[in-house]
Chain A
Amino acid sequence: MSAVEDVVTEAPAVEAVPKRAMTLGTGTSLVVLAALLIAPVFVKNFIIFQMTMLLIYGLAVLALNILTGGSGQFSLGQSAFYAVGAYTTAVLMEHFNVNYALTLPIAGVVCFAFGFLFGQPALRLSGVYLALATFALATAMPQLLKLNFLEHWTGGVQGLVVTKPDAPFGLPMSQDMWLYYFTLVVTIAIYIFAVNLLRSRSGRAFMAIRDNEIAASAMGVDVALYKTLAFGVSAAITGIAGSLGAIAVQFVAPDSYTITLAISLFLGMVVGGVGWLPGSIVGAAFIIFVPNIAEGISKGLSGAVFGVLLFLVIYLVPHGARQVAILGQQLAGKLRKN
């Protein structure tokens, strides 16, 4: 009998992850946090910049993780939300002289609205169709930013230059280091928010929809509302990441936010483990550092080396960093028993 049932019930689009398994234990979290706090003191400015980018991409991957790992919707359009966030910050800072810290919540709200609205037509689509729709959004975004009548605000193809903020209160740190700590605080705040969101009533609704949409609606979950809400929240976090990215790179231009960025974020999520929030930072590290490593191994074949490394990762751990963490936990458990 079971064989027949396997055939008719389609496998869920995303690997189901129980919500307790979505986060790290307290001990591990504190160690990671301490490492993130102390590290910049010992390294050069360029490495601090890279660590900032790591946190920023980590946020963007986290956002995708909430959408895909949480509510089971697939998106290749995250680069569009990232671009909207980045441009909101750049325009506010350069045209209206708004303080950089204030632009983050504004970018978050703008992107939330954008994501929520985009979620409405996306409601009718799922799986590959949703992938295509979000993909369309990602390919359209750079072209839209180049449009003539927006050029006064967006700077057209040239883009906008963003000034990097100084450390406030006369703190004795470089701009890069200040921005790193600023990003770290924002990242931690959003991470805590995300963890709590997934533990809340809304988070349970997301997961119910992910695991079985029809059953969820039968239990009284407002499927349309929560699906669009997931899009909105994910877009808002991606937008904030985009804002931070614009400040860190000091430059926004349409061609920085192409489909390549969306694909990178997607790869980051897969490598980190779909639905496992701490994996986001591992995934971000993969998409930032592995292309560099690949280029170091062979200049001409960097793409091929990257592909081979990616294949190795998905062969060894098809469930990403989450699988490594689970293995580690089991190992630790065994050692404790002995």
Chain B
Amino acid sequence: MELFTNQVLAGIATGAIYACMALAVVMIYQAIDHLNFAQGEMAMFSTFISWQLMQWGVPYWGAFLITLIFSFIGGIAIERILFKPLAKAPVLTNVAGFIALFAIINSSAGLIWDFTIKQYPTPFGSAPFLGSQLISTHQAGMIGVTVLLLLGLYFFFQYTRIGLAMRAAASVPESARLVGINTSWMIALGWGMASAIGSIAGMLIAPVVFLEPNMMGGVLIYGFAAAVLGGLTSPFGAVVGGFLVGVFENLAGTYIPGVGNELKLPIALALIISVLVVKPAGLFGRHIVKRV
């Protein structure tokens, strides 16, 4: 029983990361209707920036804040420079653009900071949380930050004018434009926010997986899986999906015989597909009705 609780808690802790990543994925998906395959690499690059700042002597929270601002501006810049010209191009061309962005960021980070694994500090410490052996303060901190982030986003979208404008631009762009919303900049804003959220995920997971250019590969896949499981139209669903995927991945690795680290991912994906076959729009997704 103790093993079970242990695994569930550990799953919730890693799930917090997936939830963060899934949240970033959903943000961009809401804004532009595409899955951003370069999301993980953008987060990785931001994390490296914060590491570099700390190497130069900036304290943790200072570096955290500067990185957030940098990621926000960087996300907007990427949208304005690279993807705005592709807005009219076919969907699959856009996907190719994401893959290109992935290659560019990954390779540049490798050149600037090389591929050696680096230690990354945690602001929460790694002592046992509240005297419990099951969960460390860093893991508790991760869960706390994710929940705060979700609450913040909820209030932003529900109770601010700009959040309302962003929702309008995402759901009915034509009408939103008619009432005077600058939909093109709302998309850029979506990119900026997604990039900033991704950078938070990167900075939180870096102490766990260590810092290196390929650190986000696996995380992003789980993030996608979580977002799709929860429903791509629902930020809340994305977070729930993240925790579910984290817990399930850990339990499958522990209890199903023959499933080592290698088979964890395929099993997690298989579960998600079985869920999708029953509920094609994800657990909390809105069903989109199409007109012929």
- How extensive is the interface on chain B, given as a class? 35 or more
- Taking CB atoms, residues of chain B closer than 8 Å to A128 are 35, 228, 232
- Taking CB atoms, residues of chain B closer than 8 Å to A146 are 262
- Taking CB atoms, residues of chain B closer than 8 Å to A304 are 103-104, 107-108, 111
- Taking CB atoms, residues of chain B closer than 8 Å to A10 are 288, 290
Contact call A131/B270, Cβ cutoff below 8 A: no
Encode contact with A along B215-247: 1 for CB under 8 Å, 0 otherwise.
000000100110010001000000000000000
A304-B104, A308-B100 known; A214-B290 Cβ under 8 A: yes
* A124 contacts B by Cβ under 8 Å: yes
- Taking CB atoms, residues of chain B closer than 8 Å to A144 are 266
Contact residues of A between 193 and 242, Cβ < 8 Å to B? 212, 214-215, 218
Contact residues of A between 134 and 175, Cβ < 8 Å to B? 135-136, 139-140, 143-144, 146
Q: How far apart are the CA atoms of A214 and B232 in the complex, in Å? A: 23
Contact call A132/B90, Cβ cutoff below 8 A: no
Contact residues of A between 98 and 142, Cβ < 8 Å to B? 121, 124-125, 128-129, 131-133, 135-136, 139-140
Contact call B111/A301, Cβ cutoff below 8 A: yes
The residue in chain A whose Cβ has the minimal distance to the Cβ of B90 is A15
A128-B232, A136-B273, A146-B262 known; A318-B89 Cβ under 8 A: yes
- Taking CB atoms, residues of chain A closer than 8 Å to B103 are 303-304, 306-307, 310
Contact call B97/A143, Cβ cutoff below 8 A: no
* B175 contacts A by Cβ under 8 Å: yes
Contact call B175/A7, Cβ cutoff below 8 A: yes
* B95 contacts A by Cβ under 8 Å: yes
Contact call A318/B86, Cβ cutoff below 8 A: yes
Q: How far apart are the CA atoms of A21 and B86 in the complex, in Å? A: 24
Q: CB < 8 Å: which of A13, A143, A214 contacts B266?
A: A143
Q: How far apart are the CA atoms of A136 and B267 in the complex, in Å? A: 9
The residue in chain A whose Cβ has the minimal distance to the Cβ of B278 is A124
Smallest CB separation, A205 vs chain B (Å) = 17
Smallest CB separation, B99 vs chain A (Å) = 6
Smallest CB separation, B54 vs chain A (Å) = 25
Contact call B266/A124, Cβ cutoff below 8 A: no
Q: CB < 8 Å: which of B100, B101, B110, B273 contacts A132?
A: B273
Q: How far apart are the CA atoms of A281 and B110 in the complex, in Å? A: 32
Interface size, chain A (Cβ < 8 Å): 55
The residue in chain A whose Cβ has the minimal distance to the Cβ of B282 is A129
- Taking CB atoms, residues of chain A closer than 8 Å to B82 are 311
* A280 contacts B by Cβ under 8 Å: no
Contact call A136/B272, Cβ cutoff below 8 A: yes
Q: CB < 8 Å: which of B90, B99, B172, B269 contacts A263?
A: B99
Q: CB < 8 Å: which of A3, A11, A14, A267 contacts B96?
A: A267
Encode contact with B along A48-72: 1 for CB under 8 Å, 0 otherwise.
0000000000000000000010000
* A8 contacts B by Cβ under 8 Å: yes
* B277 contacts A by Cβ under 8 Å: yes
Contact call A303/B104, Cβ cutoff below 8 A: yes
Encode contact with A along B61-104: 1 for CB under 8 Å, 0 otherwise.
00000000000000000000010011011111101110111111
A7-B173, A121-B273 known; A314-B111 Cβ under 8 A: no
* B265 contacts A by Cβ under 8 Å: yes
The residue in chain A whose Cβ has the minimal distance to the Cβ of B225 is A132
Smallest CB separation, A21 vs chain B (Å) = 15
Interface CB pairs A-B, < 8 A, 29: A121-B273, A125-B280, A132-B224, A132-B225, A132-B228, A132-B273, A135-B221, A136-B270, A143-B266, A146-B262, A263-B99, A270-B95, A274-B92, A303-B106, A306-B100, A307-B107, A308-B104, A310-B99, A310-B100, A310-B103, A311-B101, A314-B86, A314-B100, A315-B86, A318-B86, A318-B88, A318-B89, A318-B90, A319-B90
Closest 4 CB pairs of A and B: A303-B107, A136-B269, A140-B266, A307-B104
